[in-house]
Amino acid sequence: MWYRSRKISLVLFALLMLIPFGAVTLAQDVVTIEWWTVNSEEYSEEVQRALVEQFNAEHPNIQVNITVLPESGFTERMTATLGAGSGAPDVAFFWDNNWFPQALDLTSYIEADPDLDPSMYFEGFWNTRAVWQDKVVGLPLGVGANFVMYNKDVFDEMGVAYPSPDWTTEDYIATATALTDPDQRRWGGDRPRGPFRAIWRNYGAFPYSDDSTTIDGYLNSDAAVASYTWLWDLVASGATPTPADIEILGTEGTGPIDLFLAGRLAMATLNQGHMLTAIESGVNFGIVPEPQVVGNERYVNAFSLTASIWAGTAHPAEAYEWLSYWVGPEGQRFLMDNGHLFPSLPDVLADHANADKDYVQAFFAVLELRQVAEWVNAHPCNGTVLRAAVDAWDLVNLGEIGRDDIKATLDSLVDPAQQALDECVARLGA
């Protein structure tokens, strides 16, 4: 009897001793996910912290640790950590395509997730920002697009009719010219600073054949010549600031928004982030898509940010849990309602608080257009050839070639571009 009770006591003692270890084990079960993000006009640091708090409260087994970085330094930090192969975050924006090889393939996680269906997202953004080389490298957060913002006060002052959504590239030059006032150093509109923007595609210009083999007849096609000629006419009109003006007066990589806000640019090709700034600044503006070329398909420069899981993460399942929450319907709705995000999920975007406003409707309409990025992402060698197209674009922009020299200039670029394409295709494939 004494022996038995002693045995029971020992067992009880042993169990008591295990309690703290059990507690330790439970504590260790809480996984910490490192998340790097940026402070943006669309989602402030404060709003993102609130989202994390909500997630952490709902998921006691996962704690997301947020690191908010300045927009201007995010790329440097990601490049350094991914290059070092250690210290990278579990979840972060992978907005540089060069980082995609280090992103976890989410295909199996999405297949096993009953709450996440790729069809929930805008198809164009899924194709361009989530899928890379037949892998799902991330989920697209938010949507953005370029469109032409026009200052209604300037139009009224100059007695010029507001542009309509179906306006043409020729209308653009005529309108910009009518709005230009050299005395006030005011320009009617800005000009595309590089080729392969929506207008270039609207002309049907294409740098090489779809099978990535031929340059001749594409880079120097009639369509390409027409797009360059349009730029030449725009430059010659004097209705736009020069590249030097924009460089000096514009902000670093943030577009001519400052000139637009100051009323010195009556029309400017901007995006939804600029739109938010203009609303905040009280500018009376309207939005139209970039001008079309009658008879051709119309394109848009649209974009989204890829949010990914680092392939080196020690907790892929928990990281996916957070990623699908952040970029899924719940997170994007939270960032839309509490911040200024335009979600990449049409069903969520439809509930936007300002969905009935003209400018938001115009923005939604732009998102329906075909994306220039669809071609860019489908062709790994696009950069090689676009360099040649940029050279010619710059010559026109700087006024260094005559209108009649455009065809000859493009012809002269064909051979070196073909050589570069051949070398690239041999390395990376078509």
Partner 1 sequence: MSLNSGAAHPNDSFADIDRQLRRSNLTTALRRLTGNGFLYFIMVVLALIFMIPLLWMFTTSLKTRQEIFVWPPTWLPDVPQWGNYADAFAKYPLARFMFNSAVLVMINALGEVISVPLIAYAFARLRFPGKRILFIMMLSTMMIPGQIKLIPLFSMFSRLGLVGTYWPLVLPSFFGNPFFIFLMVQYMRTIPRDLDEAARIDGAGTWTILYRIILPLSLPAVTVMLVFTFLWTWNDFISPLIYLSDFNSYPISVGLAFFQGRYSVEWNMFMAATLISIIPVLVLYFFAQRHLIGGISTLGLKG
Between residues 87 and 399, which has the closer beta carbon with respect to partner 1?
Answer: 87
Stretches 24-32, 69-77, 163-171, 388-396: which one binds partner 1 (CB under 8 A)? 69-77
Give 307's DSSP letter. E
Per-residue x/- mask for partner 1, residues 48 to 67, rule CB under 8 A?
-----------------x-x
* Contacts (CB under 8 A) with partner 1, residues 173-192: 184-186
Contacts of 182 (CB under 8 A, 6+ apart): 238
**Which is it for strands 31-38 and 91-93: parallel, antiparallel or unpaired?**
parallel
If one asks whether residue 45 binds partner 1 (CB under 8 A), the answer comes out as yes
Q: How far, in Å, CA of 329 to CA of 348, rounded?
A: 7
Q: How far, in Å, CA of 48 to CA of 63, rounded?
A: 14
Q: How far, in Å, CA of 97 to CA of 89, rounded?
A: 17
CB of 65 to partner 1, least distance (A): 8
| Angle ∠(26,27,33) on CA atoms, nearest 5 | 115
- For residue 201, report the phi and psi dihedrals to the nearest 5 degrees: -70, -35
Contacts of 69 (CB under 8 A, 6+ apart): 36, 37, 38, 39, 77
Per-residue x/- mask for partner 1, residues 10 to 39, rule CB under 8 A?
------------------------x---xx
Number of residues that bind partner 1 (CB under 8 A): 46
Between residues 80 and 317, which has the closer beta carbon with respect to partner 1?
Answer: 80
DSSP 40-69: -SSS-HHHHHHHHHHHHHH-TTEEEEEEEE
CB of 124 to partner 1, least distance (A): 20
CB of 308 to partner 1, least distance (A): 18
If one asks whether residue 262 binds partner 1 (CB under 8 A), the answer comes out as yes
If one asks whether residue 5 binds partner 1 (CB under 8 A), the answer comes out as no
Between residues 159 and 182, which has the closer beta carbon with respect to partner 1?
Answer: 182
If one asks whether residue 40 binds partner 1 (CB under 8 A), the answer comes out as yes
First to last CA, the chain: 84
Helix residue ranges per DSSP H, 272-430: 272-281, 316-326, 329-338, 346-349, 358-367, 373-378, 382-397, 406-428
If one asks whether residue 252 binds partner 1 (CB under 8 A), the answer comes out as yes
CB of 79 to partner 1, least distance (A): 8
If one asks whether residue 101 binds partner 1 (CB under 8 A), the answer comes out as no
Q: By CB under 8 A, name the binding residues for partner 1.
A: 34, 38-42, 45, 65, 67-73, 76-77, 80-81, 83-87, 184-186, 249, 251-252, 254-255, 257-259, 261-264, 271, 273-274, 276-277, 281, 283
